[in-house]
Structure 1
Amino acid sequence: MLSIAGVLCALGLSYASVGQARITDVVLFGDSYTDQSRQHSIANGTYPGKDYQEVFPPNDTAADGGVQWPWYLGLYGNYTVWNYAVGGAVCSNDWTPLYGEPDVSSGQQAWFIQDHIVTSNNTSHQMLTLEPSSFVVVQFIGTNDVGIGSFLTADEAANVSLPNVVDCQMNSFRTMHVLGARNFILNSLIPLQLTSLYSNSSAPTIYYPEVHDGNAWNKGIYNLVHSLNRMLEDGINALNAEWAGDGRVEWFNTYNLFETMYNNPAQYFNGSIPANVTGHCHQCPDPDDYTQCGIGDCTLAERDSYMWWDELHPSEQTGRNLAAEIFKKIEGNSQY
């Protein structure tokens, strides 16, 4: 019996690399850094169904306080965007069970299968409804795997280490490869030590409303991010060798992009006040009371001056910059 890859080969479909074919669709897996609305939909009891494509706003906002970067990516490249990311997600709930949101390796990929895989005549034969050379899979996960509630605070599952997280991400690509995908981009983790949540301050925040050892957190997250990024990059090199040209994963250095924005703020942030890469726009005056969040927020005119929306999440303007570079990556000409 032919596998899905065998079926596609028999049909004569090509597996051009990113930048070598006209990409029309982008498939996204990830967490709140990418999610446009799925986590809110789940929380509101309207579990996303087939072909779910809701984008915030106008009904609500994403974790960046407005429109998330995938919307801008679709705009810049005239792509159809299939965004399966969920706020609070990890790569696998078996390894780093944080909030139990649909993870990349099972829940999010199940949505992709629901939308794009058809089974013919009640048999095991499956067919991908997307042309393999016309879409790219972008995976941007790991922030929740390494942070509070997981490795940083020693809350990961027993007998779990960072290599398990790497294996999860590589195996997620293998699953998509079997389903017919051939173009992939893996986003590295960002420099989380630059966020307020993981700074060297020990003050309570809305995401961790307790006094903590900020210096230890700052050093710890720096180590975890760099370790995981190094292992992920090694993993995709091994995966590309394994596939021997039948599909390819491109590395996108999100860490370096964010570091560049942080070090050159005037080039990237252009609101009505001077660029601000150390503070954040969205304020929660009492870390124990979510209902007070929003008191003291920056104005709409000031938003594009900020790199960060809140203690953890990038701003909408940062997302625009990310989308512009991901677009360049898909087109084959990004320095990252």
Structure 2
Amino acid sequence: MIRFLLVLAPVLIRAQICPATGLSPWALNRFHRLITFGDSYTDESRLQYMIDHNGTAPPPDTVLPESTLLRNWARHVATDTGLDLQNYAVSGAVCSNHITPRPFPLIHGDFPSVLEHEIPAYAYVAERDAKYDESGQPIYEPPFDSTSTVFSLMVGTNDLGNIAFLTDSQVAGKVLRDYTQCLFDALDRLYASGARQLLLFNTVPLHLAPQYANDTLDSRDATRYWPEKPSNRTAIAIKMLQQTTSVNEILRYQTPYEVLVARRYPGAHVAIFDLWELISDIYADPAGYLDRSILTKASDYEHHCDVAGEHCAYEYDHEHPDSFMWWDELHPSGRVHRVIAREVVQALEGRFRYASYWSDGS
């Protein structure tokens, strides 16, 4: 084991240097575009478009509006840095519907997934400009500069939640390893389309979210996202903690293996953003991140709805949104999205606080 680490160490030291230029591959002034995939933590209005159009996805190149509820981290990043944002995330999405399909009657099918819906929606743009070799295989000519475009993937909240792994509702025989493998399958698809700057987020500490928390005052017996929630909050929080920590540990070790040992992405630069640590830091020190003019706990949330989702109201009449860590039972507040955006910008600069970097410069 020691011999392996000694062999690997020089590769890790060089991971922040681009062999072709001698410069770091992660520097904000290198980037012009951010392309995002994920779930409701990133979506702006793609799912709403599908609801409004009988389940039909937006045509390629459709420019969708921002969310009217709150501005998410990706939009903040784009606004703060001037990056062009192309957002393919869909609320309710999982990594693959072959692992954790979740029905959504309003679009007459399952929630769209990253692997079967979002990336194909993006890939159409790459494939329409493809040329073909003598055997008929496409030769991609991506419609972007691969060195100036960052591709991000933030998904997992639904994969590990109710109607999925948390409630043993996944496809028979599927395990957490299938979910993490799906993340790399998604990166495979993006890499094949020409992506070379890949930003992957690990999972948030969902056991702290009011929907899953073991907190007598702030967790809920039932929510609009989980009307049939069991009463044993302790069991729910413990299982969620086990799942998210297990997934993050897999990613912690699998990522350097795939990039440096298996050399799965030659010439690519992969960063893992530690969303778990950032959200945990906010929870542990809310005064350091939130406006504490209103005395609230980190587990409080602002937007309350009944189980049917028909009657909703804001705490304090929406006068103190920056005091809350959570917007509702499951989603971060607008203030937390701004904090995430701030740290993502730092990660794009190549700073190490919440990001780990791996490069195969071949």
What is the TM-score when the length of structure 1 is the normalising length? 0.87
**In structure 2, C-alpha distance between the alignment counterparts of 1:169 and 1:292, rounded to whole Å:** 36
Instruction: In structure 1, list runs of 5 or more residues that go unmatched.
Output: 1-12
Q: In the alignment, what sits opposite 1:203?
A: 221
1:233 Cα deviation from its structure 2 partner: 2.1
Q: In the alignment, what sits opposite 2:243?
A: 224
Cα contact 1:53–1:83 (8 A) shared by 2: no
Q: In the alignment, what sits opposite 1:240?
A: 259
- 1:118-163 deviation line (CA, Å, top 9, x unaligned): 3357873431010100011111011111110011101000110111
**2:304 is the alignment partner of 1:283:** yes
2:86 counterpart (82, 90, 107): 82
Q: In the alignment, what sits opposite 1:321?
A: 339
Cα contact 1:117–1:129 (8 A) shared by 2: no
- 1:102-123 deviation line (CA, Å, top 9, x unaligned): 2111211112122344335787
Structure 2 counterpart SS, 1:181: coil
1:333 Cα deviation from its structure 2 partner: 1.4
Q: Which is worse superposed, 303-312 or 211-220?
A: 211-220
Q: In the alignment, what sits opposite 1:335?
A: 353
Structure 1 counterpart SS, 2:100: coil
How large is the Cα RMSD of the aligned pairs?
2.2
Task: State the one-letter code of the partner of 1:42.
Answer: M
1:76 Cα deviation from its structure 2 partner: 1.6
1:56 Cα deviation from its structure 2 partner: 2.6
Task: State the one-letter code of the partner of 2:158.
Answer: N
**In structure 1, C-alpha distance between the alignment counterparts of 2:283 and 2:292, rounded to whole Å:** 15
**2:44 is the alignment partner of 1:33:** no
**In structure 1, C-alpha distance between the alignment counterparts of 2:350 and 2:160, rounded to whole Å:** 30
Cα contact 1:118–1:126 (8 A) shared by 2: no
Task: State the one-letter code of the partner of 2:269.
Answer: R
Relative to structure 1, the CA distance from residue 239 to residue 204 in structure 2 (aligned partners, 3 Å threshold; closer, same or farther) is same
Q: In the alignment, what sits opposite 1:5?
A: none
**In structure 2, C-alpha distance between the alignment counterparts of 1:23 and 1:324, rounded to whole Å:** 16
**2:219 is the alignment partner of 1:193:** no
Relative to structure 1, the CA distance from residue 24 to residue 121 in structure 2 (aligned partners, 3 Å threshold; closer, same or farther) is closer
Cα contact 1:269–1:306 (8 A) shared by 2: yes
Matches within 5 A, 1:6-45: 17-19=25-27, 22-45=30-53
Cα contact 1:116–1:128 (8 A) shared by 2: yes
**In structure 1, C-alpha distance between the alignment counterparts of 2:127 and 2:237, rounded to whole Å:** 43
1:244 Cα deviation from its structure 2 partner: 7.0
Task: State the one-letter code of the partner of 2:243.
Answer: L
Relative to structure 1, the CA distance from residue 21 to residue 177 in structure 2 (aligned partners, 3 Å threshold; closer, same or farther) is farther
Cα contact 2:94–2:114 (8 A) shared by 1: yes
Cα contact 1:202–1:215 (8 A) shared by 2: no
- 1:265-296 deviation line (CA, Å, top 9, x unaligned): 11211265235411100012x32x221122x5
- 1:222-245 deviation line (CA, Å, top 9, x unaligned): 000000111122221122111475
**In structure 2, C-alpha distance between the alignment counterparts of 1:121 and 1:260, rounded to whole Å:** 48
Matches within 5 A, 1:1-336: 17-19=25-27, 22-45=30-53, 47-57=57-67, 60-61=68-69, 66-99=70-103, 100-120=110-130, 124-200=138-214, 201=219, 203-210=221-228, 212=230, 213-241=232-260, 242-243=263-264, 246-270=267-291, 272-274=293-295, 276-284=297-305, 286-287=306-307, 289-294=308-313, 296-336=314-354
**In structure 1, C-alpha distance between the alignment counterparts of 2:206 and 2:288, rounded to whole Å:** 21
Extract structure 1 runs of 4+ deviating beyond 4 A: 13-16, 120-123
Task: State the one-letter code of the partner of 1:53.
Answer: V
Structure 1 counterpart SS, 2:294: coil
Structure 2 counterpart SS, 1:168: helix
**In structure 1, C-alpha distance between the alignment counterparts of 2:352 and 2:61, rounded to whole Å:** 30
- 1:182-210 deviation line (CA, Å, top 9, x unaligned): 11111011110111110125622222223
**In structure 1, C-alpha distance between the alignment counterparts of 2:341 and 2:265, rounded to whole Å:** 29
Instruction: In structure 2, list runs of 5 or more residues that go unmatched.
Output: 1-19, 104-109, 355-362
1:20 Cα deviation from its structure 2 partner: 7.8
What is the TM-score when the length of structure 2 is the normalising length? 0.81
**In structure 2, C-alpha distance between the alignment counterparts of 1:313 and 1:305, rounded to whole Å:** 15
Structure 2 counterpart SS, 1:132: coil
**In structure 2, C-alpha distance between the alignment counterparts of 1:82 and 1:271, rounded to whole Å:** 34
**In structure 2, C-alpha distance between the alignment counterparts of 1:31 and 1:96, rounded to whole Å:** 14
Task: State the one-letter code of the partner of 1:175.
Answer: R
